[in-house]
Structure 1
Amino acid sequence: MTRNSRHWAIAAAAFLAAAPVLTGCGAGFDAITSQPYSPTEATTAKVRGIDISQAFFLGPDSGATLPSGGATPLYLSLVNTGQGPDRLLGLGVDPALGTAKVTAPVDLPVQQRVSVGKPTPTVLIEGLKKPLAGGESITVQLQFANAGIVPLTIPVITRSREFTQFPQAPGATAAPTPTPTPSATAEHAEGDH
């Protein structure tokens, strides 16, 4: 194979690999799909009759931090696909991270989607031992009455983009606001004369 024909073969292979992606672009942003939206950063798992989707801890606003001593709420969607009802009883976390708190058990009827965290967070990690800025992952164990203990690694997502509708995490610090520099202010004032 000559050098020139190798370049054409590589280009053709790249085009064929990109073709499925490019055909999806034709649908546009207003396309209607039959799939529910789920954030790409969130965790999804199917374990022992429990479908877990859209699992994430809510972190601070972009550019801010959840300080030590603060809390981070858990949001997730659960569907019990087992033979009988189940219940989310608890959350286990490494004590070096903080203390897990479940304010009330979450009932999981068969074949019914249950959103945890909306409208009020009921599962969270309190007394954080280290600050969180978003982008970290936390390993937890969800404890179910029938499905048992389910280990997961769940991301901490900043409160930005589609997550701005969620209430701010308890104890979060505000994002730093940019302050104008004196030189920029002076230059602007000189140009107004």
Structure 2
Amino acid sequence: MSRSLRRGALAATAIVISIASLSACGAGNDAQTLGVRPDNAAVTVDDVKIQNALVITQPDPGVVGPAVVSATVFNNGDAQQTLESITLPGAAGTVKLKAAEGNGPVVVPAGGSVVLGGAGNASATIEGGMREAKNGDAQKVVFKLSKTGDVSLDAFVVPAKSYFKDFGPTEIPKPPAATPTTGATATATPSGEAGHGSTPSGTATPSGTATATGEASHSAGH
């Protein structure tokens, strides 16, 4: 093989390796956290990185019930941090935090991460729901951590369907039952009751009532 052909083959091999490396980076641990979700919010402040932030509402439109904040909080620092609160500026809902186990605070370990939402994970429940926001809107969400302070970003509002079903609210109220509508209300008189002004069919003059023949003859004799 000539030198020029060898140089061409080596260059092609290098390009293939570079593309493969970039693909591997794009499908790393962060991409797999909470599944691959398109266009999800992420932000980094100091040692804290928040990824895959979403507000997940009830799956059926018009149903009033709890919503949740779903996200992964990474702590790249040397000391653990506590997720003290999550607030939703401009929305009336209050977010209740719950650790994955026990009743303690939600702790993000040093060099580790915490997932909010999904079975076996910590949770951030919006108890009043998200009546102000519609699916597809962007809602500002502020995460307050013990050392980093406030970390804010805009999270998409999505229903608990498809990719987001397993990370949505655990309490799913049933949709309100539809009220049946009919064209006319039928009014019927029970067969055992007679209409006003008519003689009931079961009422008759007793056949045993008549003028006594003896009384008639006695009157005639006088």
Q: TM-score, normalised by structure 1?
A: 0.62
Instruction: Quote the offset at 1:133 in angstroms.
Output: 4.4
The superposition leaves residues 52-81 of structure 1 with CA deviations (integer Å, 9 ceiling, x where unpaired) of 1111111232x52442xx321111111101
Residues 128, 168 of structure 1: alpha-carbon distance in 2 compared, 3 angstrom cutoff: closer
Quote the residue 2:45 is aligned against. Answer: 47
Quote the residue 2:148 is aligned against. Answer: 147
Quote the residue 2:109 is aligned against. Answer: 109
Which amino acid is 1:115 matched to?
V
Distance in 2 separating the partners of 1:34 and 1:132: 32
Quote the residue 1:64 is aligned against. Answer: 61
Greater CA radius of gyration, 1 or 2? 2
Which amino acid is 1:157 matched to?
V
Quote the residue 1:90 is aligned against. Answer: 85
Distance in 1 separating the partners of 2:137 and 2:174: 17
Q: What RMSD, in angstroms, separates the aligned Cα atoms of the two structures?
A: 3.2
Residues 174, 39 of structure 1: alpha-carbon distance in 2 compared, 3 angstrom cutoff: farther
Distance in 2 separating the partners of 1:109 and 1:132: 32
Give the conservation status (yes or no) of the 8 Å contact 1:66–1:131.
no
Structure 1 residue matching 2:58: 3-state secondary structure: strand
Number of corresponding residues = 145
Give the conservation status (yes or no) of the 8 Å contact 1:45–1:53.
yes
Distance in 2 separating the partners of 1:140 and 1:88: 13
Instruction: Quote the offset at 1:122 in angstroms.
Output: 2.2
Distance in 1 separating the partners of 2:170 and 2:176: 13
Quote the residue 1:3 is aligned against. Answer: none
Give the conservation status (yes or no) of the 8 Å contact 1:74–1:121.
no
Instruction: Quote the offset at 1:96 in angstroms.
Output: 4.3
Which amino acid is 1:47 matched to?
V
Residues 154, 175 of structure 1: alpha-carbon distance in 2 compared, 3 angstrom cutoff: farther
**Does residue 118 of structure 1 match 2:118?**
yes
Q: Give the number of the structure with larger relative contact order, counting CA–CA contacts within 8 Å between residues 6 or more apart.
A: 1
**Does residue 81 of structure 1 match 2:76?**
yes
Distance in 2 separating the partners of 1:129 and 1:162: 19
Identical counterparts, % of pairs: 20
Q: TM-score, normalised by structure 2?
A: 0.55
Instruction: Quote the offset at 1:173 in angstroms.
Output: 5.3
Instruction: Quote the offset at 1:157 in angstroms.
Output: 1.4
Which amino acid is 2:80 matched to?
P
Matches within 5 A, 1:138-177: 138-168=139-169, 170-172=171-173, 174=175
Give the conservation status (yes or no) of the 8 Å contact 2:68–2:126.
yes
Structure 1 residue matching 2:77: 3-state secondary structure: coil
